[in-house]
Structure formats: structure tokens, C-alpha cells
Amino acid sequence: MNSVLIHCGGKGIFIDPGILPEEIKKIDDYLSGNKIEIQDVILTHSHWDHIIAADHFYPAEIIAHQNFEYETSGIKWEHLKKQISDFSKLHEINELEFNIPKPDQLVNREYNLKLNNISLNLTFTPGHASDHISIIIPEQEVLIAGDLLSDREIPYVNYSLKEYTGTLEKLSSFDFEMIIPGHGNSTQNKEEVFERLNRDREYLNKLNELAKTAVNGNLQADDLKNLAGKISYHFPELNNAGHLLNLETAFIELGGRADPSKYGWGQNLIEIQ
């Protein structure tokens, strides 16, 4: 995962700090070596890998979207703990310490922040998550995208296909020089910026049409596995499972008959109740 540090005049803003203890130590060493004090921590959304080290930079103020508290409460909190435990076991490391960050500032659709002479515009970009925000640095035409516009991942529609489609339409109205995604590689190639936006928009449009076909044809959720292959996408070996979950989620969103405890991105939340 990509964490982002913006600093100027000895003050810094950290975006999505994480994940591993050795990574946090490297960050600490850099901050102390360059005499940088973190003033704010911005969380693009509430998924565990983006929030796990937020409290490490206390007393920096934590900024998140107003849906953050809902996304980290109740059964969703239990799901976050399970994901962290599973990650620790998979990588054979000690269980990562984790407490839910308590945001000092909750933002809605737009929020402007200053770091000395650097302006940051926080903008609501739902679809992957209900509390997803991205950060635009307008003077440099930079987009810090969170879990959007990866060169490795397809759009993961954990929350809403309709909202995700609207988010990409919104971002397409900007003329970005650089994109920094939460996963995968950054790019300063304007042609690649354009290609990523168009590729992901095309994928979501095809996903929508495929889900509509399934709903209108009165297909069952189990039929979606056979239907999923009608859409091509990059790095299928990495994204096959996510693509099927996307299709199941879109199918349910568009009115398809499916048990959300067994299909789509929400199934894991229900399983651990």
C-alpha cells in the first residue's frame, strides 16, 4: 500500500499511514531526520490497511469522511479486526496492534486544507467505500486517489456501482498531471492518467450492462460465475475473485435475487455475526 507524506516548512500531512511496524519505523526516522512534525493525518477511507497506523502520529489531527464512524462500528469493526488478524497470520508476524482511529475532523463532500503555501482539496469519491475521499493538490494537478485508479487492480466495487461510476465521471472533468493510487504504481504520464480513467470507466459500464442482463434474464446468483467471463480486464490472475464479487454486488444493487450473506462484497460482514 502507498502512504503519502506532504511536507513544507517543517510541517507535514500524512495520508493513509501504514502498514507494517518496520515501515512505520522508516517513516519515523525520515520525519525525525528532517525535523518534520505531522500536523494532520488524512484517511481516504476506513479499510483496515489505510487506517492501521493513524494513531501512531498523535497528537496530529485525524481527518476522515463523516461516514467513517458508521464504517468502523458494530459488525464492521469486528470485520476489521478479523482482516488484521488474517493478515498477520498470512505474513507470519506478530498480531498488529490496532485501535479504531477517532477522527478529530469529519468532512462531507468537499473540504479545503492548507499546509503553509500548499492547498489540498478533499473531495468525496464514493463507490469503493461509502466514506471514500480523494485529495487534489490543484497547483500541481496531483490526485492522491486512495483505492481508485490503480494500474494493478480493477475497480473494487465494495460499496456501490452507481456511486463508483459517478466518481469516475467527476474525476474525468479534471486535468491531472499525476495520480498516486493507494495500491500499485503512481504515474506522471498524462496519457496514462487518461488511459486509467477511461479503462476503469469502461469496465464499470460493462459491469453494469452485464449485471442488468443477469437481472432482466431472471438469472440466479450461481449463474454469475459463467457470465463473469464475458468481460475482460487487466491482470486477471490478480483480479478474478474481485471481479466476481463486483458482479455479484452489482447484481444485488440492480435488484437481482441473491442472498447478501453468500454473494458480493458484503458477505464477509454477515458471516462473522
Question: What residues does each domain of the chain span?
Answer: 1-147
pLDDT for 268: 63
**Mean pLDDT for the chain overall:** 94
Distance CA 262, CA 144 (A): 33
Predicted confidence (pLDDT) per residue in 239-249, tens digit: 999 999 999 99
Distance CA 17, CA 53 (A): 5
Predicted confidence (pLDDT) per residue in 104-125, tens digit: 999 999 999 999 999 999 999 9
Distance CA 165, CA 81 (A): 30
Q: Is the dihedral of CA 50, 53, 55, 58 positive or negative?
A: negative
Distance CA 36, CA 13 (A): 10
Are 42 and 122 within 8 A, CB to CB? yes
The answer, yes or no, to whether residue 201 has pLDDT greater than 70, is: yes
The answer, yes or no, to whether residue 205 has pLDDT greater than 80, is: yes
The answer, yes or no, to whether residue 97 has pLDDT greater than 90, is: no
Give residue for cell 477511507. Answer: 45
- Structurally, at CATH architecture level, domain 1-147 sits in 4-Layer Sandwich (3.60)
pLDDT for 271: 41
The answer, yes or no, to whether residue 270 has pLDDT greater than 50, is: no
Distance CA 131, CA 96 (A): 24
Predicted confidence (pLDDT) per residue in 147-198, tens digit: 999 999 999 999 999 999 999 999 999 999 999 999 999 999 999 999 999 9
**pTM of the model as a whole:** 0.94
Q: Taking Cα atoms as reference points, which of 24, 43, 52, 269 lies closest to residue 147?
A: 43
The answer, yes or no, to whether residue 33 has pLDDT greater than 70, is: yes
